[in-house]
Amino acid sequence: MAKVTLIAYTPSPDQLVAQAARLCYSSASVGEIGDSLTPQKAASLVEMLENMGHGSPTEHASFTFGIEGVSRSFLAQITRHRIASYSVKSQRYVDERNFSFVIPPEIDAVPEARTEFLEAMEEDRKRYESISSLLREKHKKRLMDSGKPEKQAGSEARKLAGEDARFVLPNACTTQMICTFDARSLNHFFSLRCCNRAQWEIRGVAIQMLRLVRQAAPALFCKAGPPCVKGACPEGKMTCGKAEEVRAFFSRLGTNP
């Protein structure tokens, strides 16, 4: 199961964003802009930004997450959100002979499908190890023939073998990453990925992320979630038809530590 950790975030994010917003509409200096800005006033200013559609002040607050136990398929989805920064475990340099993997719930729920899936994962492991071994042997011999010491040749050969052997690894293979979003990008991410129509894995991660940032910055994310949280569902004929249920779920999300 995916695990999300909020590693770090801008201190007092609601307060910072409120100061940035106040600066836009005040003659006060930067040094004075935070004077008398109580948490209640900060929350009111952040709400004003939401109502006005003025998102740029929210870009000053950033949030960094650690995400583990997700598939490479998930990686392909989340990195489509380009206004974010990512560091991902490399299959090129990390040996994946004993890779772990994600089993989709729909496959896990059908015994015959689960058996087929597990057999496929085991076959992938065997192929990865076999290809790695053949390539290591080839590269080591070539490097030693070029004059490199055996130990050095063996080390370089392992890296070169992994570079190509990884092509046999499945989308189910797990990975881990650290990613950083600013609050504006996060709200956009939540609007897309918290929706019932989002793919199950990234939706589960998005909900974990939202729960965490709501505790860190309640004003910034009090209305975050799919579009139906704030208004009508925009999906037309593709709607899940559960807007009231979705609103109730997100209104409660993150209210308890």
Catalytic residue set: 193
Strand order of the sheet with strand 3-9? Answer: 3-9, 62-71, 174-182, 85-88
Task: State the sign of the Cα–Cα–Cα–Cα dihedral 201, 11, 223, 227.
Answer: negative
- Give dist(CA 96, CA 128) in Å, integer: 8
How many whole angstroms separate alpha carbon 172 and alpha carbon 101? 5
d(CA 96, CA 98): 5
Asked if residue 175 lies in contact with residue 71, where contact means CB atoms within 8 angstroms, the answer is yes
| Phi, psi angles (nearest 5°) of residue 173 | -55, 130
Structure tokens at 238: 């593709």
CA separation, residue 53 to residues 5, 71, 117 (Å): 29, 35, 46
Handedness of CA 122, 127, 130, 131 (dihedral sign): negative
Query: Using CA atoms, how far apart are residues 227 and 41, in angstroms rounded to an integer?
Result: 26
Give the whole-angstrom CA distance, residue 58 versus residue 49.
Answer: 9
